[in-house]
Amino acid sequence: MVPLRLAIVLLLQGLQLCRGQNLLNQGGNYGDLLEFSTTQKPGDALELSSLSSEGFTRLSHPYFPKHSARIKKSHFCDETVNAYTGYLDIGTRHTFFYFFESRNDPDTDDVMLWTNGGPGGSSSTGLFMELGPCNIASPNKTVFNPYSWNSNANIFFIDQPVGVGFSYADFGETVGTTEESAKDIAAFVAIFFETFTKFKGRGFHLSGESYAGRYLPLYASEIYDQNTKLAAANLTTVNLKSVLIGNGLVDWTQQMKSYFQVQCTGAVVAPLQPIFTCVRMQKAVPRCEKWTKAACVDHFDHMDCEAAMSFCTEELLIPYIEKGYNTYDMTKMCCYEEPEWIDQYLNQPSVRSTLGVDSSFGNFSGAAIDLQMAFIRNGDMFHQNQPYIAELLERGLKVLIYAGSYDFICNWIGVERWTVNMEWSGQKEFAALPLREWKLDGKTVGQTRSAKGLSFATVFGGGHLLPRDRPAESLAMVNRWLAGEDL
C-alpha cells in the first residue's frame, strides 16, 4: 500500500511534481539585513505613499505586542500600480507578503488577501501563474496580466504559514496547524487596517484555493472573533465582508466519494479507468464512506482516521496517479512548466533585492515538504470545515465557493456535495435550487446557485488553477462578486 503521507504529498502539492525536490526554506535573523527607514509607533497612522523603496518601515499594534510588520515600496511586477513587499514578524518567525494597489481606484476599492494551499504551497503560484498583476513567461521574465484580480481590488499575496516561500523562522521552527496560523493572519490584518488610515472601514475579502478550503474558514472566524476584542479596546476593526474559496479542500471525507464518479462515470470527461478498476472502486466507495464517517466525522480519532484515509487513498486516488494524469486538470497529463520558472525567477539576486528578501535567506522553493508533513502528522487536513463556514454565514458574511470543471483533486462534484449537505439555516433553500447557467459576453461559461449569502459556481474548461486556465471568466466572476452582483 502506498503510504498515506506520500500520496497526499503527491496529490495536494501536485505542482511539486514539476519542481523536483523541494526543501524547507531556511532563513536567518533579519536584524543585520535591510535597514528600517522608519519605525511606526503604536497608534500612529501612515500613508502607503510615505513608504521608502530603500528600506523597511516597521509597523506595530498596541493589541499585538508580540507581532510587528515591516513594509517597503517595491516597484515590482506591475508598473501601472504601486507595489509593496514585507514581512510579518512574530518573534523569530517571519511571514513574507506582497501587496498591490488596485488598478481601478485604490482609494475606494476593497482589499483582498489571497493564499495558495498545499499545505506548504507558496502564494507565488497565485501571483505569477494565476491571478496576479504579472504572469511568469520564462525564468527571467514576467509579462503584464490584463486579467489580474487587482483590476478592482487592492490585493495581498501571502506566503503562509511560516516555512512557505520566502517566509522562514530563525531556527527552522514551523507552524503545524491551521489554528496556529490563523492567529498570525488575523494579527497581520489588524496591523494593516490600524496603520493605514485610508483603508479603515474598507471591505475586506479572504480568497484562496485548494487547502485554503481549510485555511480560510478558520482565518475568517479568527478575524471575526478578534473584532469583538478590538472594538472593546477602541481599536480599528476589520470590515470582513466575504470569503472566496476556489476548488477548496473543505471536507476531505466528502471529496473522497467523488473520485469514483469523475474517473468512471463520465460525469466530467470520458471514463479514465478500465472497467476492472472502476468495479473495484465502486465496491470501495461504501467502505470508504462508512470507515471515514466512523473514524473522522462521528468521533474523530487521529490514528483511525489516518487508517481510513489510507484505504480510501489507495483505492480511489492512487489509480489516477499511476495513470500519469495531471491532478489539477483531468484533460492533461502530468505537469506545468511555470512552477520551475517561478523558483528560478525569485532566486535571482536582483529580484530578491527589489523585494527586500532577507539576505541570509537560502534558495526559494514554491513548495515546503517539511511543513506539509507537519500538518499531516497533526491530522490538520482530516477535519471538516463546514461548521466554520456555516457560522460565518449565520453572522452575515458572504461566501463564494467556486470550482473549475476539469479539476480532479478538489473536483466540482465533491465541492458541490458538501455545499448542499452543509447544515445551516439556509440549507433547505440553497439545496432546493437547481444549478443555473451564468454567462460572460452572452456565452454560457458555467453554472451557479445562490441563497442567503452562499454562492456556488463552476467555470467550464477550468482546472484547479482556475484563474490560469480561464482568466477572463474568473475575473468576471470576482468583479461581480465584489460589486454585489449575481453571476
Residues recognised as catalytic: 210, 407, 464
If one counts every other C-beta atom within 10 angstroms of the C-beta of residue 76, the result is: 20
User: What separation in angstroms does the CA of 427 have from each of 143, 309, 415, 420, 474?
Assistant: 43, 28, 15, 7, 26
The C-alpha angle 222, 39, 354, rounded to 5 degrees, equals 85
Do you find a cis peptide bond into 119, omega within 30 degrees of 0? yes
Do you find a cis peptide bond into 146, omega within 30 degrees of 0? no
Which residues are registered as beta bridge partners of 442? none
Residues 6+ apart with CB under 8 A from 414: 254, 255, 256, 257, 258, 259
C-alpha cell at 322: 499511476
Give the 3-state secondary structure of residue 338.
Answer: helix
Rounded to an integer, what distance in angstroms lies between the CA atom of residue 6 and that of residue 318?
Answer: 11
Q: Which helix (H) or strand (E) holds 386?
A: helix 386-394
Which residues are registered as beta bridge partners of 450? 455
Alpha helix positions (H), 176-301 = 178-195, 212-232, 252-264, 275-292
User: What separation in angstroms does the CA of 190 have from each of 200, 201, 222, 242?
Assistant: 10, 12, 11, 16
Rounded to an integer, what distance in angstroms lies between the CA atom of residue 192 and that of residue 155?
Answer: 12
Rounded to an integer, what distance in angstroms lies between the CA atom of residue 99 and that of residue 103?
Answer: 12
Q: Is 396 exposed, middle or buried (0-12, 13-18, 19+ CB in 10 A)?
A: exposed
Residues 6+ apart with CB under 8 A from 278: 260, 263, 264, 271
